[in-house]
A and B are shown apart, each in its own frame.
Chain A
């Protein structure tokens, strides 16, 4: 069904190009018609994207000290707690990497994902005044909400510098692959955000399930432990969670720990599918946002 929709969209796009050729701004609005210029509109509205991102960041860091401290403190406290529970109490292995480092790397990825989803899933509701009063491609709203969590992520990543010094640990050439894994995290986070934010507009009880799901999620992702402690027969099932492969990849690129390829491949495929699925669900529900919000 989604594929057919995309096909129609392409057809309409060509029609519009011809109409545009006449130098005038001609806009045809028709009932039941798929919005053919969506991607072009997204590009036209890029300044709005930037300014909303700027707004979110300014508001978040208006109280600079609290904002920055909080974004550093959260993953750090999480790391300490998980290190105590999983390493000191449960005595789990860590591939000869200092346990706090292993946890911190995963914690950053996890919190980036979880912050994006939890801020993003509320974003449409928080901007309901914009949605009911002006037109713009609504995809901009959940997309902007990622900039805050991305900033937080980058700030808290700086803590790696003192950590590396303290543990006298230096990443090797593999670190050049790190951005790729962050990019995959972005795909997963956006896909989930698009999907959940759209469902949140129509189904108002959805929002109560999200924090709960996110809290469980940290335990089915290899944050407090490394993936190789998962028994072999469960490994593929475990890898259905795209963050599992991504976190393994991050650890591989930072610490040179072994990489389990099937899991990584699955992560890549699922990330792309999630983003595409999220996008199509969002587009399908978007047309009635202004009416129901």
Chain B
């Protein structure tokens, strides 16, 4: 009966990367380039269009298909630039796919970094509400879990201090505490644990284990930390230069990844 919570079919994401000196477009440049192109067209109507020569399509994700069952905890691994974050951004609707299709059944929350939207001038308390809303929590939800969040973070004493006065560790703790109390059916997490001390990392992994075991939540977890992946995930997906290289039991996938 159980349908896959996430099914991804032939998903591709192409970025256009320009080989100009600077990355950003300017209006004046675009307008003059357009004008130049037009003149070029008129003067040499049959030569290939030069304006597009320095634009290149980059396949960050190329024809990837997989399915994820409810309650799965999936580790996504691959080298830098393999397309892991891109995959998460597509699943969370931050960017749109170039090709392909995604079907998801359930509320999705995505953690690409902890503390997104934290404002340095606002206090810890204010930032909890702000960050909660940004991650998609209702005000009432944040309110109900407020004490839990504060306890998990361990920054009670500094709750009314602007977060710009926090140590970077405290900042991350508070940020992760908010994220850990999200209650989506599907949780997407990008390498957010790399920061924070090892004791706190363990606490976070334990918390995520808790969440997924007791409430049957589906988790997609990107990490370069093999032991973290092994302790949390059952299955794995290996990406290699934008292509799906392997999918299956986490230990098999990790073996394959480490062999190359």
Residues of B within 8 A of A25 (CB): 104-107, 185
Alpha-carbon separation in the docked complex, A55 to B108 (Å): 25
Sampled A-B contacts (5; CB under 8 Å): A25-B107, A29-B97, A30-B100, A55-B122, A135-B110
Q: Size range of the interface on A? A: 35 or more
Residues of B within 8 A of A203 (CB): 25-27, 30
Q: Number of B residues contacting the other chain (C-beta, 8 Å)?
A: 47
Say yes or no for B64: interface residue by CB 8 A criterion.
no
Say yes or no for A4: interface residue by CB 8 A criterion.
no
Using A24-B105, A130-B117, A135-B93 as known contacts, say yes or no to A205 and B134 having CB atoms under 8 A apart.
no
Within 8 A of A (CB), among B82-110: 89-108, 110
The reply to whether B94 and A290 contact each other, CB–CB distance below 8 Å, is yes
The reply to whether B106 and A31 contact each other, CB–CB distance below 8 Å, is no
Alpha-carbon separation in the docked complex, A58 to B105 (Å): 37
Find B24's partner among A32, A199, A204 (CB 8 Å cutoff).
A204
Alpha-carbon separation in the docked complex, A229 to B91 (Å): 59
The reply to whether A29 and B101 contact each other, CB–CB distance below 8 Å, is yes
Q: Which of A25, A28, A52 has the most CB of B within 10 A?
A: A25
Say yes or no for A291: interface residue by CB 8 A criterion.
yes
The reply to whether A26 and B92 contact each other, CB–CB distance below 8 Å, is no
The reply to whether B116 and A62 contact each other, CB–CB distance below 8 Å, is no
Say which one of B73-81, B125-133, B203-211, B225-233 lies at the interface with A.
Answer: B125-133
Say yes or no for B28: interface residue by CB 8 A criterion.
yes
- The smallest C-beta distance from A230 to any residue of chain B, in angstroms, reads 32
Within 8 A of B (CB), among A36-70: 47-48, 51-52, 55, 58-59, 62
Residues of A within 8 A of B94 (CB): 131-135, 290
The reply to whether B26 and A205 contact each other, CB–CB distance below 8 Å, is yes
Using A58-B122, A130-B134, A291-B95 as known contacts, say yes or no to A206 and B27 having CB atoms under 8 A apart.
yes
A111-147 interface mask toward B, CB cutoff 8 Å, 1 = contact, 0 = none?
Answer: 0000000000000000101111111100000000000
Residues of B within 8 A of A55 (CB): 119, 122, 126, 130
Alpha-carbon separation in the docked complex, A121 to B204 (Å): 39
- The smallest C-beta distance from B142 to any residue of chain A, in angstroms, reads 10
- The count of A-to-B residue pairs whose CB atoms sit within 8 angstroms is 113
B residues near A, CB below 8 A?
Answer: 12, 15, 24-30, 89-108, 110, 112-113, 116-117, 119, 121-122, 126, 129-130, 133-136, 138-139, 185
**Chain A: CB-nearest residue to B93:** A135
A residues near B, CB below 8 A?
Answer: 24-32, 47-48, 51-52, 55, 58-59, 62, 127, 129-136, 199, 202-206, 287-288, 290-292
Using A27-B103, A29-B102, A206-B27 as known contacts, say yes or no to A59 and B122 having CB atoms under 8 A apart.
yes
The reply to whether A31 and B100 contact each other, CB–CB distance below 8 Å, is yes
Q: Which of A28, A131, A199 has the most CB of B within 10 A?
A: A28
- The smallest C-beta distance from A13 to any residue of chain B, in angstroms, reads 17
Q: Which of A127, A129, A134 has the most CB of B within 10 A?
A: A134
Residues of B within 8 A of A24 (CB): 105-106
Alpha-carbon separation in the docked complex, A204 to B27 (Å): 7
Residues of A within 8 A of B93 (CB): 27, 29, 135
The reply to whether B112 and A134 contact each other, CB–CB distance below 8 Å, is yes
Find B129's partner among A26, A51, A134 (CB 8 Å cutoff).
A51
Residues of A within 8 A of B121 (CB): 59, 62
Find B116's partner among A27, A32, A134, A204 (CB 8 Å cutoff).
A134
Residues of B within 8 A of A58 (CB): 122, 126
Alpha-carbon separation in the docked complex, A116 to B37 (Å): 37
**Chain B: CB-nearest residue to A28:** B103
- The smallest C-beta distance from B107 to any residue of chain A, in angstroms, reads 6
**Chain A: CB-nearest residue to B113:** A133
Residues of B within 8 A of A59 (CB): 119, 121-122
Residues of B within 8 A of A206 (CB): 27
The reply to whether B102 and A28 contact each other, CB–CB distance below 8 Å, is yes
Alpha-carbon separation in the docked complex, A192 to B152 (Å): 44
